[in-house]
Structure 1
Amino acid sequence: MTTTFSENCLINASAGTDGTELNLIDDGAHIRRSILPGGVRVITEHVPGLRSASLGMWFGVGSRDELAGHEGSTHFLEHLLFKGTPTRDAREIARAFDFIGGESNAATSKEHTSYYARVQGHDVPQALDIVTDMVTSSVLDPHEVATERGVIVAELAESADDPGDVAHEAFARAVFGTGTPLGRPVGGTPATVQAVSRDAIWEHYKQTYASDSLVVAVAGVVDHDAVCEQIARHVERAGWSVDPDQAPRARRSELLSATVPVVHDEFVARETEQAHLYVGCAGIPSGDERRWSMSMLTTILGGGMSSRLFQEIREKRGLAYSTYAFDVPYADSGAFGMYAGCAPKDVSAVYDLLVGEFERMAADGVDEEELARARGQLRGAMVLGSEDSLSRMGRLGRAEVITGRLRSMDYNLELLDAVTAEDIQQLAAFLASQPRCRVLVGPEAN
């Protein structure tokens, strides 16, 4: 049976854990979700009028899940899974995507990992064959491990040469604590990458990549039943579980209790022309119902050229080229921050402006014109983002692995429209009451 979203409908993507199917229409697109033997979740969105499709293999595992001795393994796997299976070597994987004109990549975060491709609609079966083979049947060849170890160390060195990246990592350490799972870098450090063994990476792979943790998301030109049949064959061929009684692995949000982040200041001396300044505090989790209020808050405060920070710091005073506000949500916690890159001599003035605008919002709130402008900005971003199959696939995958909630575009827009000026002020006041950190990367004189 096909369901059409009602005006205020909330679809829970965790529905159907007994194997029943989610089957609905959202603004003309047909969304289906099935649970296969072994606990594999397949969620697709057929979008009329598109000639392409994006597909992704998602796992709710990230760098925060690494055990002692496994640090850096999650990002290591992102590299290694492109390097060969029993039926394809690295060159054959690359050539296969080139032959069909497809784009492929992977992404590792602190809480999930994805392997994805964007192809023409008629090439979905071939792309699925390649990516599923990579994910389920990687051999983690020792020679490739040695080669990629050098590549990853070079990647980390490139990041260490970028003061913006250094400041970003320092901010995570400041908010979540040095050495904590959320405070450490996703890719590990040169020391941990050099130290982690092939056996440790293999153990991490076997512990975290399995039928019950696999989410397959496809958006665009897609036949749901054909995808399910193909994935089921691959999983069985790879020797992964096809137990019909196996349920999907619990989501992280179902396993964790709230944590209290550690917030402190950090200074990193760098001989740079520009100082990189972060000011922030603990934020809110990904499942918090104040997420739309947070989106509105960061948009008004520092989400574009009309935002308060941009107008005050760049337009009126010319003290920075780049300045913005942001939040980073995780299952059990989060971070809120403001950034500006400025001349070293202007750090104190810019810091006062960042904090001043933030505290003014907490004390005085926002006006209706700001509210309407931010709402229009976010509405536009949501609608324009939905025109791309890769964005739609990402929405499906993230909903399934992070919160278990898949909401229609209309319902999300209703939630956005429901945010009031009072909601934003209350959230700003809550954030302003949290212990605050300052992170600075720049010349030692500051």
Structure 2
Amino acid sequence: MRGIRPLSNISKRCYAATRRIEPLTESLGSMKPVTAAPLTPQDVQVSKLPNGLVVASLENNSPLSSVGMFVKAGSRYETTENLGVTHVLRLAANLTTKAASAFKICRSLEAVGGSLSVTSSRETMVYSASCLRKDVDSLLEFLINVTTTQEFRPWEVQELTTRVKVDKALAEQSPQMSVIETLHKAAYKSGLSNSLYCPDYMVGRISSEQLHSFVEGTFTSSRMALVGLGVKHSVLRQVAEGLLSARSGPGAPVAKSLYRGGELRLHNNDDLVHALIASEGGVTGTAEANAFTVLQRILGAGPHVKRGSSLNGKLNQGIAKATTKPFDATAFNASYSDSGLFGIYTIAQANSAGEVIQAAVAQVKGVAEGSVSEAEVLNAKNQVKAEYLMSLEANEGLVEELGAQALATAAYQAPEAVAQAIDAVTQGDVVNAAKKFVAGKKTMASSGHLSNTPFVDEV
């Protein structure tokens, strides 16, 4: 038995016969193409409700809607009693709420073809969801449920212990992640020194009561921003006013993170030494932060070609003249609401780590002394603008930018304004940024076989 032929194998004569049944009555040249009415372009709309919650939206007429809830609830808001609570909270996003079980949340999202993800940083926690436009009302309902009506049933929280261990173990396998976490621990006294991951001694000890207490103190309307892409602003406002009224209040106070500098060394038998040395950088949204961003591109922020090398950066060019041994070097830049870190990240063999680090620092000192041209600054500014604008081409990047600005300033700065702020960075601003790194109190984190790795006071 040969079976039924698939549709792709149906003879073309079927289509030819159908075509002959409906002969043309007028020439193709006289037929006018049908054109749909052009869609009216929309601007970003931002509203701040009386309860303090910020609503931002961009109606781009997309068939796909993306929404996000941004909360000032990163690891910097943890205390010594609940260290690791944000790590557990991130993994608990799909647990049972007062309105739906974990099973219902999963099946309902599948039914509408939607997705839900949770990410966190040292300052914010972001709940993101997307689905077809026609199902956005259901999606918003589930997003509000998982962010404001959590139950944290003790047995479900306890079952997260294995996932916390696995998540932490995967992060620790990355030397880069370990060094960055260690750098923050050494650089700050509190707040920003808290890790993104649960410490070993707290794994399995975060209780449902601690989760409830943390959420009640941080998930309040004045610390939230609801953003949408492909959603009407009036719809978001209605949801925010109706379902978030119970979350009013200022929330827990924010402790300022104090930069102190210092050094932490992670000794092991790895032949590759990862070292990161930094000074205090610029605060997010300031002109100084823009100058550090441009300086990062001048020094080298990684390859521009997949699996390529960053040979155009000053770091790699300078280190290549100082040693013939293999290495990798990039500039590190992280900005926060009240502080920042800027430095250089090097990877080298254990026996050459010292000369690679010294050569990298010498390149920054050279920029601080004025060895940077206008052409290099212009090239770096073009890289920064291109990377920023390309990030907005994807829905995820645009939602992230909308949420970050809404949460920080309750307003939105158009890409043109951001590009103008980058263009305003001068050669002198870049030199001053390099001088701040050279003269500032240093913080250093290193990992590997460190017998030939200098201490921070020797750099």
TM range (shorter): 0.7 to 0.9
* Kept in 2: contact 1:71–1:193 (CA 8 A): no
* Kept in 2: contact 1:319–1:350 (CA 8 A): no
- Where does residue 75 of structure 2 map in the other structure? 63
SS in 2 for 1:266: strand
* Kept in 2: contact 1:313–1:353 (CA 8 A): yes
Distance apart, 1:153 and its partner CA: 2.4
Distance in 2 (CA, whole Å) between partners of 1:341 and 1:28 is: 48
Which one is further off, 409-418 or 279-288? Answer: 279-288
Alignment pair present for 1:181 and 2:191: yes
Distance apart, 1:399 and its partner CA: 1.0
Alignment pair present for 1:344 and 2:350: yes
Distance in 1 (CA, whole Å) between partners of 2:334 and 2:202 is: 25
Distance in 2 (CA, whole Å) between partners of 1:194 and 1:310 is: 44
Task: Flag the 1:405–1:303 CA change in 2: closer, same or farther, 3 A.
Answer: farther
For residues 18-417 of structure 1, what are the structure 2 equivalents within 5 Å?
Answer: 28-48=41-61, 50-177=62-189, 180-219=190-229, 221-236=230-245, 239-241=246-248, 249=250, 260-304=258-302, 305=310, 306-313=312-319, 319-320=325-326, 322-417=328-423
Distance in 1 (CA, whole Å) between partners of 2:152 and 2:52 is: 24
- Where does residue 6 of structure 1 map in the other structure? none
Give, as a single letter, the amino acid of the residue that structure 1 aligns with 2:241.
A
Distance in 2 (CA, whole Å) between partners of 1:162 and 1:381 is: 25
Distance in 1 (CA, whole Å) between partners of 2:204 and 2:412 is: 40
Distance in 2 (CA, whole Å) between partners of 1:398 and 1:318 is: 43
SS in 2 for 1:106: strand
SS in 1 for 2:396: helix
What's the CA shift string for 1:148-184, capped at 9, x where partnerless? 123112222232233222211111122224xx22112
RMSD: 2.5
Give, as a single letter, the amino acid of the residue that structure 1 aligns with 2:339.
S
Give, as a single letter, the amino acid of the residue that structure 2 aligns with 1:145.
V
Give, as a single letter, the amino acid of the residue that structure 1 aligns with 2:360.
L
Distance apart, 1:38 and its partner CA: 3.0
Distance in 2 (CA, whole Å) between partners of 1:364 and 1:400 is: 37
Which one is further off, 411-420 or 226-235? Answer: 226-235
Distance apart, 1:444 and its partner CA: 4.5
What's the CA shift string for 1:31-72, capped at 9, x where partnerless? 112233533221111225x33232111111221112341221
* Kept in 2: contact 1:81–1:140 (CA 8 A): no
Distance in 2 (CA, whole Å) between partners of 1:341 and 1:406 is: 38
Give, as a single letter, the amino acid of the residue that structure 1 aligns with 2:191.
P
Give, as a single letter, the amino acid of the residue that structure 2 aligns with 1:194.
G
Distance apart, 1:111 and its partner CA: 1.3
- Where does residue 27 of structure 2 map in the other structure? none
Higher-Rg member (1/2): 2
* Kept in 1: contact 2:265–2:447 (CA 8 A): yes
In the comparison of the two structures, how many residue pairs are matched? Answer: 405
SS in 2 for 1:271: coil
Q: Percent identity, aligned pairs only?
A: 21
Distance in 2 (CA, whole Å) between partners of 1:349 and 1:157 is: 32
Task: Flag the 1:319–1:401 CA change in 2: closer, same or farther, 3 A.
Answer: farther
Distance in 2 (CA, whole Å) between partners of 1:320 and 1:184 is: 33
* Kept in 1: contact 2:329–2:347 (CA 8 A): yes
Task: Flag the 1:276–1:29 CA change in 2: closer, same or farther, 3 A.
Answer: farther
* Kept in 1: contact 2:117–2:128 (CA 8 A): yes
Distance apart, 1:113 and its partner CA: 1.0
* Kept in 1: contact 2:291–2:430 (CA 8 A): yes
Distance apart, 1:85 and its partner CA: 1.1
Task: Flag the 1:313–1:144 CA change in 2: closer, same or farther, 3 A.
Answer: farther
Distance apart, 1:317 and its partner CA: 5.4
Give, as a single letter, the amino acid of the residue that structure 2 aligns with 1:218.
G
Distance apart, 1:318 and its partner CA: 6.1
Distance in 2 (CA, whole Å) between partners of 1:191 and 1:430 is: 37
What's the CA shift string for 1:305-348, capped at 9, x where partnerless? 22112334469956456421121112221111211222111201
Task: Flag the 1:106–1:321 CA change in 2: closer, same or farther, 3 A.
Answer: farther
- Where does residue 22 of structure 1 map in the other structure? none
Distance apart, 1:438 and its partner CA: 2.9
What's the CA shift string for 1:391-430, capped at 9, x where partnerless? 1111111112234452111111111111111110011112
* Kept in 2: contact 1:302–1:326 (CA 8 A): no
Distance in 2 (CA, whole Å) between partners of 1:58 and 1:407 is: 17
Task: Flag the 1:324–1:122 CA change in 2: closer, same or farther, 3 A.
Answer: farther
* Kept in 1: contact 2:48–2:410 (CA 8 A): no
Distance in 2 (CA, whole Å) between partners of 1:331 and 1:157 is: 29
TM-score where L is the length of structure 1: 0.84
Distance apart, 1:191 and its partner CA: 1.0
Give, as a single letter, the amino acid of the residue that structure 1 aligns with 2:283.
P
Instruction: Considering Cα pairs closer than 8 Å and 6+ residues apart, tell me whether 1 or 2 has the greater RCO.
Output: 1
Distance apart, 1:365 and its partner CA: 4.1
Distance in 2 (CA, whole Å) between partners of 1:319 and 1:217 is: 49
- Where does residue 15 of structure 1 map in the other structure? none
Distance apart, 1:368 and its partner CA: 1.7
Task: Flag the 1:443–1:169 CA change in 2: closer, same or farther, 3 A.
Answer: same
* Kept in 2: contact 1:69–1:196 (CA 8 A): no
Give, as a single letter, the amino acid of the residue that structure 2 aligns with 1:229.
Q
